Amino acid sequence: MSRPPLAARAIAVCGAILTLAGCAGIGKPLEAPKITLADIRVQQSTGLETAFILQLRVINPNDIDLDVRAVSLDLEINDQSFASGTSSSPVTIPAYGSNLVEVQAYSSVIHLLKSMIGIHKTGEIAYRVQGKLRTGGNGWLPPLLPFDAAGTFDFSEFTQAGK
Q: How far apart are alpha carbons 148 and 128 in whole angstroms?
A: 7
pLDDT at 22 over 50: no
Lowest mean pLDDT among 3-17, 99-113, 133-147: 3-17
Q: How far apart are alpha carbons 76 and 81 in whole angstroms?
A: 4
Side chain identity at residue 72, one-letter code? S
Largest CA distance in the chain: 97
User: Contact, 141 vs 69, CB < 8 A?
Assistant: no
Summarised one tens digit per residue, pLDDT across range 38-66 is 999 999 988 899 999 999 999 999 898 98
Mean pLDDT (whole number) for 10-29: 52
User: Contact, 84 vs 128, CB < 8 A?
Assistant: no
Summarised one tens digit per residue, pLDDT across range 70-107 is 999 999 988 889 999 999 999 999 999 999 999 999 99
